[in-house]
Homo-oligomer: A and B are copies of this chain.
Amino acid sequence: MGLSEQTLIERYFHDIGAARDDVILGVGDDAAVLQPAPGYELVATTDTLVAGVHFPDDCPPAALGYRALAVNLSDLAAMGAAPAWALLALTLPEAEEGWLREFAAALGALARQHGVTLVGGNTTRGPLSITVQLLGSVPRGRALRRSGAQVGDALFVSGTPGDAAGGLAVLQGQLAVAAPWGEQLRERFLRPTPRLALGAALRDWASACIDVSDGLLGDAAKLAAASGVGLCIEWQAVPVSAALGMALAPEPARQLALTGGDDYELCFAVPPARLAPLQAALPPTRWGYTRIGTLEAQSGARIVRDGTVMDFSHSGYQHFR
């Protein structure tokens, strides 16, 4: 690449994000040195975005910078953790300064918003690929897990799943919808909102939690399987946004809400005894979450519509064209 790795790192990635007292040594040495807080556990995750796989090749660099961090923030949200430090491994075909400036600015802005400092990383020549490693903390013993849900717990989802998949379809020209709705969906794909405040608040209420990234139904089934239980989702209860409702007929809209990917919402279980206090402490309309079902003894994931189990495996999955 035209600029050396060191020049690139110094110019665009030096100490972007929040200023934190617990960063003892940030970007520029062989490794970062960080001070974990006493009484807390460390929470660590990594996620990769590959051009042509996770995003269209012509995706704006600002959206990539945002998204590469947001998907990792969402993992920490699902653990009930507070993010702190990020490392970036950026593989680029060539070092275009305009691209780098926009990418770094967007990543840095989201990092500052959530109190995250970029403390290290490397840049490499090769096919465009972005891997972020994110470290955070959770009070000792308080991390939310996928396991922990029990039969009878209520199942919830935050936000309006399916919007991101609809937005990707809009971006790829597979779905047409009037401007304000199309723009809203597109934004949900390009700039998903990591639910960090909700995840942290759920430490007091949820028995299990998962990040919805591969589709609500599949990820809810992972939570149930990890908890050793099954689940039943009420078809009518699955929230569909106004924008998705404008873009698709009710049937395919709800299918997309159940199976579309890239939502980065939280799916979580709450024991019956905690339902009333949860809804008092975190009013659902203000916090943006919806009950969609219940965990059951019978293993597997079922969708019930008008009292009948749907044969869902043969519907959906081909939403456009």
Contact = CB atoms under 8 A, between A and B. Distances in A.
Contacts of A211: 30
Contacts of A6: 222
**Chain copies in the assembled complex:** 2
A127 interface: yes
A142 to B, nearest CB: 10
Contacts of A91: 48, 50, 129
A145 interface: yes
Identify whether the interface residues of A are mostly helix, strand, loop, or mixed. Answer: strand
A295 interface: no
Given A53-B125, A124-B53, A44 B32 contact: yes
A164 to B, nearest CB: 17
Interface stretch (A71-79, A169-177, A249-257, A286-294): A71-79
Contacts of A24: 41, 143
Interface residues of A, number: 61
Q: List the 9 closest pairs (A to B, CB-CB), nearest first.
A: A50-B126, A31-B45, A36-B36, A30-B78, A133-B133, A127-B127, A34-B42, A131-B131, A30-B75
Interface of A: 6, 24-25, 28-36, 38, 41-48, 50-54, 75-76, 78-79, 81, 85, 87-89, 91, 119-122, 124-127, 129, 131, 133-136, 138, 140, 143, 145-147, 209-211, 222, 226
26 contacts: A6-B222, A24-B41, A28-B146, A29-B79, A30-B146, A30-B209, A31-B45, A31-B75, A31-B76, A32-B43, A33-B41, A34-B43, A35-B42, A35-B140, A36-B36, A38-B38, A42-B42, A44-B135, A46-B87, A46-B88, A46-B131, A51-B126, A52-B126, A87-B133, A89-B131, A131-B131
